[in-house]
Structure 1
Amino acid sequence: MGRRLPPWATATLSAVGLIAFWWIASVTIFANVGSGDTKAIPTPAQVVAEWGNVGWDFYVTHFSVTLNEALRGYLWGNGIALVLAGLVMVVPRLEGPVMQLAVITYCIPIVAIGPLAVLIFEVPKKGDPSGTAVFIAALSVFFTTVVGSLLGLHAADKASLDVVHVYGGSRLTQLRKVRVVASLPAVLTALQIAVPAAFLGAVLGEYFGKVETGIGPAMIIAQQSLNSPRVWGLALASGAVALVLYLAVGLLTRLSTPWAKGAAA
């Protein structure tokens, strides 16, 4: 049997193949797709050239605002989710209402609640984070973290819980001494999944208007001016930023819970 390629080599070949397919499709299949002289699917070279045209400051200005919104929404959404999950362990009767709340927040279409959030939150000053974007980002991570945290907290060793109970420990003591440690792999995994969700939620929140700076308004302006290379450049840069943050939290998860990987092995 042949040797398997290392993960980095597989990822590199996949990326090269994807870029090659994109380039070929742009100059063949989608060569005449677009409005006027603007191609809907630019080549990778055109996207890179547009990155150079707008400069580094353009991306720093817009990404700094969107990342600020995503971070605030990430902290608010995950913080509330973790508090409610811990409260369920202390007061088990609350599990039904908490899960119903999580499902409701997951099922409500963002396009329906976004305009309401625009009316509720104040119009931000130029360069300030949008309250609507922060709210949508928090809403985007709430369900995943609630479900992941409850699954992790429920997975605590029953024998350890019984020992705490026999020695007179309350549900709060069980939570502090047993459940929190047992739930760390599941909780950190949920927090990792929430990273790109928060970033996407912040971008979607910016699309509802009343924002002058951020990835959302930058993409809207590029779309209106039919600047497809800039639209693609912003989209690819957003995906790269979300991926880097996702991998960073994943690395933190491995460093924080090394026993989880050993147990799985």
Structure 2
Amino acid sequence: MSHSNSIDVSAVEEGVAGSGKLALIRIKQWLQSPAPYLNLLGVCGFVALWYLTTEVFDLPLFNKLPGPKATFSEWVSPSPVYGISLHTHEYYQHIGISVWRVFQAFILATCLGVPIGLFMGWKKKFKDYTFPLLEVLRPIPMLAWVPLAILMWPGREASIVFLTFLGSFFATVLNTLLGVESIDESYFRAASSLGASEKQIFFKVIVPGALPFVFTGLQISMGYAWFSLVAGEMLAGEFGLGYLIWNSYTLVQYPVIIIAMITLGVIGSFSSLLIRLIGDKLMQWKVREVA
């Protein structure tokens, strides 16, 4: 028994070490490629264009917008003019509430959307029942759901999470469905000829085969969750980054709008990166193939 346990532990350690080495190789390859430097150049170019249009040339379309100098000085100020900066508690309170809402909606959309998408791709009859309804509901904008969400759910918090969930749910279902439909038919025939049961086909063929599309869909659905959240918070929220953007507009606090927008973009990017890393961890065969 002890010998078997030592073998299992060593195998796990080798697997972890191999994953770590593979990650280091990918990072090294990325740093040696022109991609990170082009990314940085693109960001710097955007900031430079923002600076020129708002603070140097003072173009008519942009003369009411705050420039990068005014925005970043407000963002890092210990005593901000409008009360929101890296040094204020309210800034992190808005971030925390928005992140918690997106987390709830994203987990709910994943737990419902992935199984529904898998079954829609697996069972044609189930797809025939559900796909038309999905296609009718999917194009409806989030703003159109706001009155119904407020009527259906007792509190503002639940209605905001519901609106965020809707944006994430449809993207998750459709990408999971696409993943199942992209699996080569020969895998199903091979599994059936080897005597695999329906349950084995589902867990050994459909789920692994659809995983790359599932995680691509989850990255897309995370983006949908964030902009659905902002729409919900603007109209029904009391806290959060979306509420902060709208409230700052009504109070003519334009630098705070830019601060909240940049914060949304940064957090959303890190959210997608986290999903990508989890997907790489669960799909080591795909990572090795790319590497």
Task: Please indicate the TM-score interval, normalised by the length of the shorter structure.
Answer: 0.7 to 0.9
Question: Does residue 1:218 correspond to 2:250, yes or no?
Answer: no
Superposition RMSD in Å:
2.3
Aligned twin of 1:103 = 135
CA–CA separation in structure 1 for the residues paired with 2:135 and 2:290: 29
Contact kept, 8 Å, 1:152 with 1:185, in 2: the verdict is yes
* Offset at residue 254 of structure 1 (A): 2.6
Residue 207 of structure 2 corresponds to residue 180 of structure 1: yes
2:198 is the counterpart of 1:162: no
One-letter amino acid of the counterpart of residue 114, structure 2 = L
For residues 30 and 251 of structure 1, the distance between their equivalents in structure 2, rounded to whole angstroms, comes to 42
The gaps in structure 2 that reach 5 residues or longer are 1-31
Structure 1 residues 22 and 190 mapped into 2: Cα distance closer, same or farther (>3 Å)? same
Q: CA deviation at 1:232?
A: 0.9
Aligned counterpart for 1:237 among listed residues 246, 249, 263: 263
Report if aligned partners of 1:137, 1:199 keep a CA contact under 8 Å in 2: yes
CA contact 2:233–2:240 (8 Å) conserved in 1:
yes
Equivalent-residue separation in structure 1 for 2:211 and 2:162 (angstroms): 26
* Percent identity (aligned): 22
Question: Which of residues 150, 154, 164 in structure 2 aligns to 1:122?
Answer: 154
The residue number in structure 1 matching 2:64 is 40
Q: Distance in 1 between matches of 2:202 and 2:150?
A: 38
Q: Does 1:259 align with 2:285?
A: yes
What is the distance in 1 between the residues matched to 2:33 and 2:218? 30
Which residue number in structure 2 is paired with residue 195 of structure 1? 222
Structure 1 position 166, deviation (Å) = 3.3
The DSSP-based 3-state class of the residue aligned with 2:66 is coil
Which residue is 2:54 aligned to? Answer: 26
- In 1, are the aligned partners of 2:121 and 2:178 still within 8 Å (CA)? no
Tell me how far apart the structure 1 counterparts of residues 191 and 140 of structure 2 sit (CA, whole Å). 40
Offset at residue 235 of structure 1 (A): 0.8
* Offset of residue 198 of structure 1: 0.9
In structure 2, what is the Cα distance between the partners aligned to 1:155 and 1:86? Answer: 12
Aligned partners of 1:9 and 1:135: how far apart in 2? 39
1:102 deviates by: 2.6
Say whether 1:55 aligns with 2:85.
yes
Determine helix, strand or coil for the equivalent of 1:107: coil
Structure 1: 5+ residue runs without aligned partners? Answer: 125-129
Question: TM-score scaled by structure 2?
Answer: 0.79
1:16 maps to: 44
Structure 1 residue 90: deviation in Å? 5.0
Counterpart for residue 140 of structure 1 = 167
Matched, 1:207 2:234: yes
Give 1:9 shift: 1.0
Conserved 8 A contact 1:70-1:133: no
CA offsets per residue over residues 45-90 of structure 1, 9 Å max, x none? 1111221222332221001111111111111122211121232355
Structure 2 Cα separation of the partners of residues 199 and 50 of structure 1: 24
Query: How big is each residue's C-alpha offset from its partner over 1:108-146, in whole Å with a ceiling of 9 and x where there is no partner?
Result: 12221111101221234xxxxx21221111111222211
- Go from structure 1 to structure 2 and tell me whether the alpha carbon gap of 1:169 and 1:7 turns closer, same or farther (over 3 Å shift): same
Aligned-partner Cα distance in 1 for 2:115–2:202: 12
Size of the alignment, in residue pairs? 252
CA offsets 1:146-184 (integer angstroms, 9 cap, x no match): 121112122334333223323544433211121111111
User: Corresponding residue for 2:106?
Assistant: 74
Q: Secondary structure at the match of 2:138?
A: helix
What's the counterpart of residue 127 of structure 1?
A: none
C-alpha distance in structure 1 between counterparts of 2:235 and 2:151, whole Å: 10
Q: Distance in 2 between matches of 1:144 and 1:257?
A: 21
TM-score (normalised: structure 1):
0.86
